[in-house]
Amino acid sequence: MKYKIIKKNKIYRLLNTNPLLLISTVSKDKKHNIAPIAWVCPQELKPARLLFCIDTGHKTFENIRKTKKFVASIPHISQVNLVKKAGSISGKLIDKFFYLKIKSQINKKTGCKIPEGVIGYMECVIKKIFILDGTAIVISDITNAYADKKAFDGERLLAEKQKGKAIHHLGKNNFITYSNKIFLSFLFNNFLFL
């Protein structure tokens, strides 16, 4: 798949629909890992920032706390099986890329693996971590973001088109993707840029 870089001021639009993400990390001793995270949203427009909530017991959290970097990919709805499997076992126990046969390429900036076939991906650097009980709120700068040009037209995610269908988790084995776009043509929209 050919990915196109997204303009910095449009990166948040990859996240506006709160798509489930696959977070790829690498440990200090170069072991790669990946896990799905559904509790996700944009935190800032400029610089573009990502916020997600993660259990502090996850291998993913251990890696990002130590290395301060990761790749957040937006899987396509056709990858829902992979998402479920990657979220059903910890990287503390297995190499998920190997056992789940996840084809990937290494991202040069972060050293993390990007799974093949995702809608897009974001290179992230940790900005701040808040921990409350057993959950961390992780806020990261998105240094660069890329997307399939058939899924993101430079302005927004084409969630109404097949290539732009991201994953949303309803709970347990239930997932959903968005369908119809609604366009409002009235005028009272010039004070908001979202």
Ligand X SMILES: Cc1cc2nc3c(=O)[nH]c(=O)nc-3n(C[C@H](O)[C@H](O)[C@H](O)COP(=O)(O)O)c2cc1C
> Can you tell me which of 24, 33, 104, 110 binds ligand X, judged by CB under 6 A?
33
Binding mask 141-180 for ligand X (x = CB under 6 A): ----------------------------x-----------
135-148/168-171 β-pairing? unpaired
* Minimal distance, residue 177 CB to ligand X, in Å: 13
Contact between 54 and ligand X (CB under 6 A)? yes
* Shortest Å distance, C-beta 96 to ligand X: 7
Residues 61-120 that bind ligand X (CB under 6 A): 83-84, 87, 89-92
Closest CA to 145 of 116, 127, 169, 118: 118
Q: Which of 32, 59, 76, 113 binds ligand X (CB under 6 A)?
A: 59
Closest-by-Cβ residue to ligand X is 87
- Residues near 92 by beta carbon (within 8 Å), at least 6 away in sequence: 59
For residue 90 the two structure tokens come to 């910890």
> Which residue in 158, 176, 169 sits closest to 21, CA to CA?
169
Query: How many Å from the N-terminal Cα to the C-terminal Cα in the chain?
Result: 28
CB of 99 to ligand X, least distance (A): 12
Burial class (CB in 10 A: 0-12, 13-18, 19+), 172: exposed
Which is nearest to 73 in space by CA: 122, 15, 4? Answer: 122
Work out whether 35 is an interface residue with ligand X (CB under 6 A).
Answer: yes
14 versus 34: smaller Cβ distance to ligand X = 34
User: Which residues lie near ligand X (CB under 6 A)?
Assistant: 33, 35-39, 53-55, 58-60, 83-84, 87, 89-92, 169
